Homo-oligomer: A and B are copies of this chain.
Amino acid sequence: KLFRIASIPGDGIGTEVTEAAIQVLQKLAEVDGTFHFEFEHFDWSSKNFKERGYYIPPDGIDQLKKFNAILFGAVGSPGISLNPYPIVDSNKGQTQAKATDTKRLPDVPDHISLWGLMLPLRNSLTQYVNVRPTRILRGTSSPLRAEVCGPKDLDWVIIRENSEGEYSGHGGTTHAASGNAVATEVSIFTQVGIERIMRFAFDTAMLRPRKKLTMVTKSNAQRHGMVLWDQIFHEVKKEYPDVETDKMLVDAMTVRMTLKPQTLDTIVATNLHADILSDLAAALSGSIGIAPSSNLDPTRKHPSMFEPIHGSAPDIAGQGIANPVGAFWSAAEMVRWLGLEEVADKLMECIENVTEAGPRTRDLGGSANTKEVTEAVCNEIEKQ
């Protein structure tokens, strides 16, 4: 069986971890023998944007439609840091600041790169679900104390609405002559959009042992869209009498995630809320370098897209030291989506053998580079 995969490595460490993931996927196919992958590469990067003036060429989305899935790296040529450690822009002259500066690509403002590449992909391929599982992989550990969070106490899947809400892009800015510029940012929520993400979340919860779904809003302060979320949740819930549900406000949710991780299982939230909560989830599970994400078109009309949740990390790009585990886990989710459940399980097993025994990258307390981790996972695949 042949799977055609489009790869979009993007910027910074995106290119490094995507290459590593492809190596691992090829090894999987080679050892198994019953399926194989054919990759086609799309160089839709910020570097090329600077030269050509666009990320996606006019027929780009159409080109993607013939693939079975998309492997995405990361995009961002930051004017603002996309990775969790800051680009220091003080004029106090720290050496770290200078080192970072020279390694930075020339500035493409972030909203240009995101609205030029990542968001149009998610939107035009009707990838209206973003699935973000988090758990503590074997051999890694949570920054939380053991009494607060044991190794099995954090096992969540966050279902992120991926097509509307705070990411509608709607709004604008007027630079009034009064010198009082005014900007609006319009979040748009539709019944169709909310119902479909709710059903996906309930379906996900039904497949998990605890059958438990927590819905997150901020309906006490955001009194239009968030209230509609609450109402539709209340209706859709009736279709799923076997699922245990509760509701949280997004601010209080961060407290519960941090202090009572055991009490959560499946989580559904808006585009922005889930963006924030899934980064927190990754941090609480030990490193943002391991967390995967699946942009799914559940109707399977268009290819789905798999990407680590970390960014392009300009501060470590080009050094070959990025953690490829987030990209590997994303690749495993891709394999699962393509119907190869057992192969996906096997890949996760191999990844966790390596997170457990090493080599590990710096963010996981080791000192290995991307290549060493990739080879170790390939060796595990051969051993199986």
Contact = CB atoms under 8 A, between A and B. Distances in A.
A300 interface: no
Interface in A258-303: 258-260, 263, 272, 275-276, 278-280, 282-284, 287-288
Contact of A87 (B83, B115, B218, B246): B246
A217 B183 CA distance: 14
A173 B227 contact: yes
Dominant secondary structure of chain A at its interface with chain B: mixed
A226 interface: yes
Interface stretch (A48-56, A163-171, A317-325, A348-356): A163-171
B185 A252 contact: no
A187 B185 contact: yes
A276 B279 contact: no
B283 A255 contact: yes
A221 to B, nearest CB: 5
A129 B189 CA distance: 29
Contacts of A248: 80-81, 84, 86
A251 B220 CA distance: 22
A279 B259 contact: no
Interface string A106-139: 0001110111000100000000000000000000
A246 B96 CA distance: 13
Contact of A188 (B114, B182, B224): B182
Given A144-B145, A219-B111, A263-B86, A184 B246 contact: no
A203 interface: no
Contacts of A279: 251-252, 254-255
Contact of A182 (B191, B249, B259): B191
B187 A244 contact: no
Nearest to A247: B80
B90 A245 contact: yes
A275 B253 CA distance: 11
B81 A252 contact: yes
Nearest to A228: B183
Interface in A146-178: 148-149, 166-167, 169, 171-173
B111 A220 contact: yes
Contacts of A226: 111, 185
A183 B224 contact: yes
Nearest to A216: B80
Given A82-B252, A255-B283, A192 B221 contact: no
B247 A214 contact: no
A254 B228 contact: no
Return the 4 tightest CB-CB contacts between A and B, nearest first: A110-B220, A90-B244, A86-B246, A111-B223
Given A80-B220, A82-B220, A86-B248, 17 more contacts: A80-B249, A81-B249, A84-B248, A89-B245, A111-B222, A114-B221, A143-B148, A169-B223, A171-B187, A171-B225, A173-B225, A180-B190, A181-B191, A182-B191, A183-B190, A254-B254, A255-B288
